[in-house]
Amino acid sequence: MNKSETVQQAVSCIRDGMTIMVGGFMAAGTPDTLIDALVEKGVRGLTLVSNDTAFPGKGVGKLIDAGLVKKVIASHIGTNPVTGKLMNAGEIEVQLVPQGTLVERIRSGGAGLGGVLTPTGIGTVVEEGKEKIVVGGKEFLLELPLRADVALVKAFRADLSGNLAFRRAARNFNPVMATAADLVIAETEQLVDIGEMDPDAVMLPGIFVDVVVCREEEK
């Protein structure tokens, strides 16, 4: 099955008010071609789930700059002063989640679990409004799973059936986010025919990927 589409076709189903997960760590491993297409399309009221909000003018920071995001769920926003300014002005809602907890909440969403128990945040503002569960005499916070309408991920190499390989640290949040969304769109630097990828080199099976966009074809 050929899952290759143009970038315009790929983002055509993304609508106002959706929740989107975007891979990347401070813009490394972020699908920039797809981000640019969303900015051009002008979808608004998005809930963005990402590790961070990158930098002004880079990565998911472009979505923040364009005013397309109403809520951010991330582990930090410190590298993007625009996000902080909008948060302080009440123009964007920011939910900060410890990085490890963020990953496990996404993993729980992808695995169909009811959440994850973690000691992280006990005794801090992180525990406010959350259920505590005692296991073996120790308190844990119940952190609920995270899912999205769409996940935008970045791969180094893909085949037409959606099998993906990532390049070094650019793998970061991409594979786990691809398990936790109703629709997964992968941007890749290299696109090859089915059968050309060594099965041992596949880092994310194509069963998790719905659409593949080749970045080279969009230049």
Q: Which domains does the chain have, with CATH numbers?
A: 7-218 (3.40.1080.10)
Sheet holding 116-118, edge to edge: 116-118, 138-143, 132-135
Is pLDDT above 70 for 219? Answer: no
Q: List Cβ neighbours of 118 (8 Å cut-off, separation of 6 or more).
A: 100, 101, 104, 140, 141, 143
Consecutive H or E run containing 34: helix 32-41
Model pLDDT, residue 218: 43
Q: Which residues pair with 146 in a beta bridge?
A: none
* Residue 125 binned pLDDT confidence (cut-offs 50, 70, 90): confident
Tokens of 107: 């993993």
Question: 60-108 pLDDT, tens per residue?
Answer: 999 999 999 999 999 999 999 999 999 999 999 999 999 999 999 999 9
SS3 content of the chain, % helix, strand, coil (to 5): 30, 30, 40
Model pLDDT, residue 27: 87
In 69-146, DSSP assigns E strands to: 69-74, 93-96, 116-118, 132-135, 138-143
If you average pLDDT over every residue of the chain, what do you get? 94
pTM of this prediction exceeds 0.85: yes
Model pLDDT, residue 1: 86
Show the DSSP H helices in 57-198 as ranges.
61-65, 81-88, 99-111, 174-177
Residue 32 has, within 13 A of its CA and on its CB side, a CA count of 17
Is pLDDT above 80 for 153? Answer: yes
Residue in this structure with the two tokens 């791969």, named with its chain if needed: 155
Q: What are phi and psi of 199, to 5 degrees?
A: -55, -30
Question: 165-174 pLDDT, tens per residue?
Answer: 999 999 999 9
Model pLDDT, residue 215: 80
Q: What are phi and psi of 155, to 5 degrees?
A: -115, 160
